[in-house]
Amino acid sequence: MTKSSATKKEDVLREFRVREILDATCRVVARNGFQGATVERVAEEAEIAKGTVYLYFQNKDELFTAAVEQGIQNFTGQVRTQVTEALTPIEKLQRLIEVSLELSDTYRDFFKTLLLERNFLAASPNHPEAAHMLDLYLAHIHFIEEIIQDGVRVGVFRPHNVEASAFVLNEAIRGCFQQRALGLTARPVSEDASILLDLFFNGVLNQHQNHEEPVS
Amino acid sequence: MTKSSATKKEDVLREFRVREILDATCRVVARNGFQGATVERVAEEAEIAKGTVYLYFQNKDELFTAAVEQGIQNFTGQVRTQVTEALTPIEKLQRLIEVSLELSDTYRDFFKTLLLERNFLAASPNHPEAAHMLDLYLAHIHFIEEIIQDGVRVGVFRPHNVEASAFVLNEAIRGCFQQRALGLTARPVSEDASILLDLFFNGVLNQHQNHEEPVS
DNA sequence: CCATAATGACTGTACAGTCAGTCACATGAC
DNA sequence: GTCATGTGACTGACTGTACAGTCATTATGG
């Protein structure tokens, strides 16, 4: 019992250290990009020695993979939780966009490189880990897809290629992240969210003048 | 005269070599990512010695920057040319989407990494070149923006935040590139294009008065 | 006082960038 | 035609450096 408790305490400590290092990794990558992020600098940022990093991670690749994965899971997990609370598909999508954009502020460091430098999704030379990353990404899109599908089922959304629209919506949100990360917009998050929602719901066509000549 | 002609010939030869090396760079990057792309491998791919690369480019960074820049300019240039031929804003957007997606096939190698590993837009440590890249990107979005703005002016598009919709459209297209690069879709390009167009024009809401036919 | 965590000097390696040397070809003299 | 000589494009072995990963040593706390 005492022993089990002791083990647990060690585990907690270990987990805490792991988190600390992963957070430091995110900060360093956000500052220098994947390219310029060395284990030494991560250690410095975490205020530990380089060797210590290797007590918690096998190698550099595992460290960076874990950092990205933790970030994705944190993000999608929180979105999922908050969105699920909403009732109707429309409310859910509203929530989805709002929460996503809000979180982009919280996880600024993480997104700055995850989204701008997303090579982790591409062919990582000899790492099947990348495939798992892709799975996480696809799972999130699938989550969005189901919300929209629900909307179609109950009739608030018109029948259309749901797979595609889920994808487009996700890309649009990602695009907003990017604009923010690059400092290209000063719009408040809520405004971005409502613009996005409006576009996604209504499109850009002038419905009244749909097939007609413009008024001259 | 003879001398001037000789000089011209040398220039042409030089330009040819430069192109060859840049193309090789794209192929290598497509295969190994920016990370795994070394000057040695580029030289190998171009079937020249490593030293030769340095006869045409100051250093690795200049080489890679030039490769990306050439790619962006090729792409946006071709899109611009073809889109400008169309008359109405709707036709122009149709063209934009179609041509973009078609080109993604032509420039497959280039897009595979430009779009999946886009760190070149992010803070390149000590390179103001990155800013120029950003300019090219913004110019393209602005080009789209103007088409949509035209559409609003003549009344086919409803008044809305045009800056945002241009941006969203571009991101949606980029997303399609990505899906293709990752091999996540087997849809023909034309189908992707019409789905995208339909979504962008009409949104997903079920309009109360539906006299609509999907735009194709 | 032992066990475990942490350290940082050290090693090996990969790669950017250099440069002395080679080679292919052009020009011109005979 | 053929040899001599000049030119510069091209080469690849070499150098310096940055960095991943190791491990003998030291600190800590239970």
* pLDDT value for B78: 92
The alpha carbon torsion through B94, B100, B102, B108 (nearest 10 deg) reads -170
Position A112 pLDDT exceeds 90:
no
User: Collapsing DSSP states into helix, strand and coil, what is residue A209?
Assistant: coil
Class of the domain covering A66-202: mainly alpha
DSSP track, A44-75 = HHHTS-HHHHHHH-SSHHHHHHHHHHHHHHHH
How many angstroms separate the CA of A129 from the C1' of D14? 38
- Residues lining strand D at under 7 Å (Cβ) are A 36, 38-40, 50-51, 54, 59-61; B 10, 17, 48-52, 54-55
Name the pLDDT band for B9 (thresholds 50, 70, 90): low
Instruction: Name the CATH topology of B61-216.
Output: Tetracycline Repressor; domain 2 (1.10.357)
Torsion over CA: B202, B206, B211, B212 (sign): positive
Confidence of residue A3 (pLDDT cuts 50, 70, 90): very low
Q: What is the mean pLDDT of chain A?
A: 81
A165 touches chain B (CB under 8 A): yes
Nucleotide nearest the Cα atom of A60 (by C1'): D20
Question: If contacts are CB pairs under 8 Å, which of residues 10-49 in chain A contact chain B?
Answer: 32-36
B1-57 shares its CATH topology with B61-216: no
Ranges of beta strands (E only) in B68-162 are none
Q: Is some CB atom of chain A closer than 8 A to the CB atom of B210?
A: yes
Total residue count of chain B as it appears in this document: 216
pLDDT at A63 over 50: yes
B107 in Cβ contact with B79 (< 8 Å): no
**Would the CB atoms of B156 and A182 count as touching at under 8 Å?**
no
Length of chain A as a residue count = 216
pLDDT at A130 over 50: yes
Q: Which two tokens stand for residue A170?
A: 């996700």
**Residue B6 burial by Cβ neighbours in a 10 Å radius (0-12, 13-18, 19+):** exposed
CATH homologous superfamily for the domain B1-57: Homeodomain-like (1.10.10.60)
CA distance B151 to B167: 16
Q: What is the mean pLDDT of residues A101-121?
A: 70
pLDDT confidence bin for A8, thresholds 50/70/90: low
- Quickly state the pLDDT bin for B8 (edges 50, 70, 90): low
Average pLDDT over residues B8-24: 83
Using a CB-CB cut-off of 8 Å, the residues of chain A touching B110 are none
Q: What would the pLDDT profile of A140-198 be if each residue is shown by its tens digit?
A: 889 999 999 989 999 999 999 999 999 888 888 888 877 777 778 888 888 888 898 89
The answer to whether B134 faces chain A, any CB pair under 8 Å, is: yes
Instruction: Describe the crossing of helices B60-85 and B2-36 by its angle, rounded to 10 degrees.
Output: 100
Phi and psi angles of residue B157, each rounded to the nearest 5 degrees, phi first: -105, 145
Residue A105 binned pLDDT confidence (cut-offs 50, 70, 90): confident
Q: Return the half-sphere exposure (C-beta side, CA atoms, 13 A cut-off) of residue A181.
A: 29
Q: Encode pLDDT of B113-152 as tens digits.
A: 666 565 554 444 445 556 777 787 888 889 999 999 989 9
Q: Residue B165 carries which side chain, given as an amino acid letter?
A: S
Residue A196, chain B, CB below 8 Å: the answer is yes
Q: Give the count of beta carbons closer than 10 Å to the beta carbon of residue A10.
A: 10
pLDDT on residue A212: 44
Per-domain boundaries in chain B: 1-57, 61-216
> Is B38 or A35 the better-scoring residue by pLDDT?
B38
| Percentage, residues of chain A above pLDDT 70 | 81
